[in-house]
Amino acid sequence: MVKASLVWLNYNSMRFIDIALKSIDSVLNLDFDGFEVIIVDNASTDGSFETIRRYVEERKPSNVRVKLVRNNRNLGYAGGMNVGWSARDPGVRYIAFINNDLIAEPDSLRKIIEHMEGDEKVAAANGLIYQGDGKTISSAGGWISEKSGAGDVCWGLLREECPQVHREHYVSYAVGAYMVVKTNIISSVMPGGKPFIEETFLYLDDNLLGLILWNRGYRVKYIPIDSGIHFVSSTTKGSVGAYYELRGFVARLYITKTKYSHIKWLQLLRRLLSNYFRDKTLYKAVRDGMGLGKKLSHTVGPLNLYCAPYIKINLLSDVRRILPGLTARDKYTVKLTDLLYKPIDCR
């Protein structure tokens, strides 16, 4: 019986096809007994799906089950991964989601699942992910701040600069580049029984999942094992990534309940005015984020940030960092020690 499924999502990867093929090769050769690989293509038009299909047919190990699913349109990360979720073997206990620009460590899936088996309340987890140079940290889990910013723990640091990566720690959310979830928990708490809300499309999917899990009484954990190398944003670069990142931030302002929620209008007004005169695409991102946030408020309700580990903000001492909203690109570096774990009964 298949014990775990891994969903690998592709979209127009020909311009980095060498990385994508190394990624799929790492997935096919994971050191894990009894798993299936579900390859989902988001209606690629550059020939990458055909290249990947041929590669899999030639290289697939005999003991690994592979399913290929091709969507008739681009559903983004959220929709594409949900398609893979629906194609899973019904008997699996765990599902891993992985980007096409991440090369997984051979023993990563096995080790993450072994850690998750030890705590029935842990619903999602990820390990230590490096950037393309193999030295700089890309993520040690995800964080969300009291001003609804979100990003990767220890982003841009070397391992020795973030010694907390050597221990387990609860985090706000597991990063979507390579996360593992328990299927029974996801099925019971997420809208429609699927891990991601498809309207999010990009850049809100993983942190929204984490917030919902914490608010439903479950936990999300960082596990101190090397899990892979991520060639960050190979699929989403430039204005597309900027649009969805800002849209997600604005939507998160609507649905995340913190002690600063009553002044969210200040941030929204600032974003609207600054982008109206500077970049109409980003102005649209703010407007679309407001609409998405209102819709999600009805779908999942307001989510209490204090049910989860979070980044505490001092509004009086650091106005520069607060008003724009804390992001992963700030000079401020978020470490595991910055995450405050204060359990609240959120069930």
With a CB cutoff of 8 Å and minimum separation 6, the contacts of 183 are 88, 92, 93, 94, 95
Range with the poorest average pLDDT among 98-102, 215-219, 316-320, 330-334: 316-320
Helix axes 17-28, 48-59, angle to 10 degrees: 30
Q: Are residues 199 and 107 in the same domain?
A: yes
Residue 217's pLDDT is what?
Answer: 93
DSSP string over 137-154: EEESSEEEBTTS-EEETT
How confident is the model over 33-90, as pLDDT tens digits?
889 999 999 999 999 999 999 999 999 998 899 999 999 999 999 999 999 999 999 8
pTM to 2 decimals? 0.90
Q: What is the CATH number of the domain that holds 68?
A: 3.90.550.10
- Whether residues 217 and 257 share a domain: the answer is no
95 in the same domain as 194 = yes
pLDDT digits (tens, 9 = 90+) for 98-127: 999 999 999 999 999 999 998 999 999 999
Question: Percentage of the chain surpassing pLDDT 90?
Answer: 66
Task: Give pLDDT, residue 68.
Answer: 97
Among all chains, which residue has been given the structure tokens 């999602």? 124
- Quick check: 292 pLDDT over 80? yes
The domain tally of the chain equals: 2
One domain, residues 116 and 205: yes
| pLDDT grade for 329, boundaries at 50, 70 and 90 | very low
d(CA 271, CA 246): 9
Q: Is residue 170 part of a domain?
A: yes
- Asked if residue 324 is part of any domain, the answer here is no
272 occurs within a structural domain: yes
pLDDT at 234: 56
Q: Are 324 and 250 in contact, with CB atoms under 8 Å apart?
A: no
**For residue 308, what are the contacts with CB-CB under 8 A and spacing of at least 6?**
144, 170, 172, 173, 210, 211, 214, 215, 220
Q: What is the pLDDT of residue 277?
A: 55
Is 60 exceeded by the pLDDT of residue 326?
no
Q: Are residues 306 and 171 in the same domain?
A: no
User: Which of these three, 196, 230, 264, is where a domain ends?
Assistant: 230
The pLDDT, as a whole number, for residue 336 is 81
Domain interval for residue 30: 4-126+164-230
Rounded Cα gap, residues 248 and 202, in angstroms: 8
Same domain, yes or no, for 243 and 301? yes
What pLDDT, on a 0 to 100 scale, did the predictor assign at position 335?
A: 84
Residue 236, pLDDT > 70, answer no
Look at residues 200, 230, 260 and tell me which one is the last residue of a structural domain. 230
Query: Does residue 338 carry a pLDDT above 90?
Result: no
Tokens encoding 15: 């311009």
Question: Residue 34 has what pLDDT?
Answer: 82
Tokens linked to 172:
């706000």
Mean pLDDT, the chain, whole residue set: 88
Q: Which two tokens stand for residue 3?
A: 């014990």
Is the Cβ–Cβ distance between 232 and 138 less than 8 Å? yes
Write the pLDDT tens digit of every residue in 133-149: 999 999 999 999 988 88
Q: Cα separation of 270 and 284, whole Å?
A: 14
pLDDT of 325? 42
Q: Which residue has the tokens 């790492």?
A: 26
Specify whether 202 is located in the same domain as 115: yes
Look at residue 275 in the predicted model and tell me its pLDDT: 62
* Residue 314, burial from CB neighbour count under 10 angstroms (0-12, 13-18, 19+): exposed
Task: Decide if pLDDT at 184 tops 60.
Answer: yes
* pLDDT 10s digits, 243-286: 998 899 999 988 999 888 777 767 777 766 666 556 677 778 88
- Note whether residue 246 is domain-resident: yes
Confidence of residue 343 (pLDDT cuts 50, 70, 90): low
Q: Binning pLDDT at 50, 70 and 90, where does residue 318 land?
A: very low
Q: What does the DSSP 8-state code read for residue 15?
A: G
Judgement on whether residues 198 and 306 belong to the same structural domain of the protein: no
